[in-house]
């Protein structure tokens, strides 16, 4: 069945200017880190992407290694771009990254010019694109001069392979240096992608100040703390949950137990606001960042998360209560 985007897709989603640029991002972006690889049904991946777009999500966040297998998420997006989304390409922001291990040997990891440019070329082929809208250095490389890494990003823009560039998981000091180098090259740093949530607030220790000073946008990954900030664990650890999977190192049962009292207390505030815990957690993060990246395994999760935009404001009492709860660990 031929896909036709919803006619009202731009009516409720807020779009926010990203740093000092002409680009606006939706308050919520869809991340394809999990559940879009070749180990998942394509029909479900398709349903999630198309529903996200119908709800006003125009930004889709990928990386070279997202899968499994590495590259599979980009292949999924390429398939969708070829069919359902071909006529909507100019309404989409598609981002990719390189910085984690992608292929064997010394040239398939970290931040060398060799790796970043080769990786971008591969990503474009997998997605069938002439350019990506944003290309990131996925993590800092301690051994490669930052001038080389930023120079590679600048080259990708000048070659027409990326419209904008960004960095991910750089410290405040590294971000300041990267921004200075890019500014001197004439390709400003558009955006920084850090982890950030109520339970992961490292960016408040200097990075947000640098981003403000340099007028760089920000987009948070893991704003729901790998599912902790949802109703998933309010009554224990479900057998089919991420925390119950012993192979998952990002979210363990110990972390759930440590945070359970906080999760329940935060949920009470969310209910009083007329929101789910996930919706309130996303709204809270959006006070600090330009956009948040949501993940999903089914359409209903996307629909719930998008509901966060109906109540993004907090009063002083709510913020005080949340802060007291977060200080309890």
pLDDT along the chain (329 residues), means of 10: 95 98 98 96 98 98 98 98 97 98 97 98 98 98 98 98 98 98 98 98 98 98 95 78 60 82 96 98 98 97 98 98 93
Task: Report the Cα 192 to chain-centroid distance in Å.
Answer: 10
Q: Residue 48 contacts by C-beta under 8 Å, 6 or more apart in sequence?
A: 30, 35, 36, 296, 298, 299, 302
Angle at 189 between CA 105 and CA 136, to 5 degrees: 30
Q: Write out the two tokens for 69.
A: 């297998």
pLDDT at 244: 55
Residue 32, both tokens: 């394809």
125 contacts: CB under 8 Å, gap ≥ 6:
none
Max CA pair span of the chain: 54
Structure tokens at 218: 């920000």
Please give the torsion angle defined by the CA atoms of residues 171, 177, 179 and 180, in that order, rounded to the nearest 10 degrees.
Answer: 170
Distances (CA, A) of 163 to 6, 13, 114, 312: 27, 23, 20, 30
Q: What is the pLDDT of residue 236?
A: 74
pLDDT at residue number 90: 98
**CATH second-level architecture of 15-232+288-309?**
Alpha-Beta Barrel (3.20)
- The C-alpha atoms of residue 103 and residue 207 are separated, in whole angstroms, by 31
Q: Say what the pLDDT of residue 235 is.
A: 83
Quote the pLDDT of residue 257.
87
323 vs 195, 203, 292, CA distance in Å? 19, 16, 20
Q: Note whether 48 and 85 are within 8 A (CB).
A: no
Looking at residue 239, its pLDDT comes to 61
Q: Supply the pTM of this predicted model.
A: 0.95
């Amino acid at each position: 069945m031929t896909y036709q985007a919803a006619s009202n897709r731009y009516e409720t989603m807020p779009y926010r200017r990203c740093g000092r640029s002409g680009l606006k991002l939706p308050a919520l972006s869809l991340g394809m880190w999990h559940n879009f690889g070749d180990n998942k049904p394509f029909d479900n991946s398709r349903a999630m992407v198309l529903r996200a777009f119908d709800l006003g999500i125009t930004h889709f966040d990928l990386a070279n290694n997202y899968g499994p297998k590495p590259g599979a998420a980009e292949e999924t997006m390429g398939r969708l771009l070829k069919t359902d989304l071909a006529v909507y390409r100019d309404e989409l922001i598609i981002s990719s990254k390189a910085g984690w291990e992608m292929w064997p040997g010394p040239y398939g990891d970290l931040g060398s010019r060799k790796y970043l440019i080769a990786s971008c070329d591969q990503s474009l082929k997998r997605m069938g694109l002439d350019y990506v809208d944003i290309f990131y250095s996925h993590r800092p490389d301690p051994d490669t001069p930052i001038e080389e890494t930023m120079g590679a990003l600048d080259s990708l823009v000048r070659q027409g392979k990326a419209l904008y560039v960004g960095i991910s998981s750089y410290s405040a000091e590294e971000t300041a240096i990267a921004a200075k180098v890019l500014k001197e090259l004439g390709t400003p740093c558009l955006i920084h992608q850090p982890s950030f949530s109520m339970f992961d607030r490292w960016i408040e220790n200097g990075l947000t100040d640098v981003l403000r000073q340099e007028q760089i946008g920000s987009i948070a990954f893991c704003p729901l703390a790998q599912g902790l900030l949802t109703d998933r664990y309010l009554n224990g650890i479900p057998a089919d949950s991420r925390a119950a999977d012993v192979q998952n190192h990002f979210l363990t049962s110990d972390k759930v137990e440590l945070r359970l009292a906080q999760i329940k207390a935060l949920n009470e505030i969310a209910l009083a606001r007329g929101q789910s815990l996930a919706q309130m957690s996303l709204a809270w993060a959006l006070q600090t960042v330009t956009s948040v990246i949501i993940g999903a395994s089914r359409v209903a999760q996307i629909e719930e998360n998008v509901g966060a935009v109906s109540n993004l404001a907090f009063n002083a009492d709510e913020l005080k209560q949340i802060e007291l709860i977060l200080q309890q660990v």
